[in-house]
Amino acid sequence: MLKVVVFDSGYGGDVVADYLSDELGIVEVVRVIEANLSLENGSLAQIYHFSKACLRTYVGKVDLIVLGGYVVSLALELLEREYPQQKFISVGVNYYRILNSRAFPNQIAIMANKALFETKVRTEICRELPYSTIILPDCSGWDQLINDGQMSTDVLRSDLGPYFALRPSRRKTPPPPSSNSANPPDKPDPFRPDVVLLLNTHFWSIREDFEELFGYCVRVIDFRQKLLHDTCRALNLRGVDGCRSK
């Protein structure tokens, strides 16, 4: 049986591992989830050395190593350079899918950690989507809320309300205080995105909450199918179109 390691520094890696296990029943998925709360604020060198230390015992002994988080994926090029005999893939962005999600996505909201967006990811997104207006709301604290099972649509509504025109709540009770209310954005007019991108694998598990908040007119996109496509291609499996491979 083919063996695939899914590596990440938090719960998002479990989400990725569960997805690949469900879609690829003929593959053994090994989880390497090493919690490191400071990783998101680390430099590229720190992320690389952390990833290298965690994966050292698996390099050359498995068919594929999947970097299952957008932050650890920053180390992909360095890992490939050091271990050319080992296959690596990472989570990524399918720009073709974004551009075809609407006639033209004028306004794009990105749900991601600020530390990630301040890396080469910003440069890539601006290069590939030069005619779109992009906003990055404050998502700090969400990872931990998801880890603890305390994330809800009410928390998201409270955090995102200062930024966006959201679908009205069906509840009459007021939402709980925002986890990011200490620094509300100074934005008089609500942002109305055409597309919402989930560039944090933690957020795959609450995609339906985003869809509820933004409504059916807004496409909420993660890139799990791209990851499945890349995994199948790396392992020479059928199903490289990204569709179900069972």
pLDDT (tens digit per residue) in 158-195: 999 999 999 887 665 555 555 555 455 555 578 899 99
102 lies in the same domain as 187: yes
Residues 104, 174: one domain? yes
59, 167: one domain: no
Give how many domains the chain has, as a whole number.
2
Question: Which two tokens mark 12?
Answer: 């998002």
Whether 106 and 169 map to the same domain: the answer is yes
Lowest mean per-residue pLDDT among 5-19, 36-50, 126-140, 180-194? 180-194
**Residue 175 is part of a domain; what is its CATH number?**
3.40.50.1860
Residues 174 and 233: beta-carbon distance below 8 Å:
no
Q: Please, which residues have CB within 8 angstroms of residue 74's CB and are 6 or more apart in sequence?
A: 44, 47, 48, 116, 119, 120, 121
Other CB atoms within a 10 A radius of the CB of residue 37 amount to 10
Can you give the pLDDT at residue 9? 85
Say which residue, 11 or 76, is predicted with more confidence: 76
The alpha carbons of the chain give a radius of gyration, in whole angstroms, of 18
Question: Tokens 């360095």 appear where?
Answer: 78
Residue 185 domain-assigned (yes or no): yes
Residue 167, in any domain of the structure: yes
For the cut 70, the answer to whether the pLDDT of residue 126 exceeds it is yes
199 touches 94 (CB < 8 A): no
3-class DSSP state for residue 22?
Answer: helix
Single pTM value for the model: 0.86
Any domain includes 241:
no
Whose structure tokens read 């928390």?
A: 155
Residue 166 CA to residue 160 CA, distance in Å, equals 8
Residues 105 and 70 occupy one common structural domain: no
Answer whether residue 152 is part of any domain: yes
Where is pLDDT greater, at 76 or 44?
76
* Full residue range of the structural domain in which residue 102 is found: 95-221
Q: Domain check: are 106 and 213 in the same one?
A: yes
Specify the range with the lowest mean pLDDT, choosing from 51-55, 90-94, 184-188, 200-204.
184-188
Beta strand spans in the chain (E): 2-8, 27-33, 64-67, 88-90, 107-111, 133-135, 195-198, 219-221
Q: Say whether both 142 and 114 belong to one domain.
A: yes
What the block records as the tokens of 20 is 């690949």
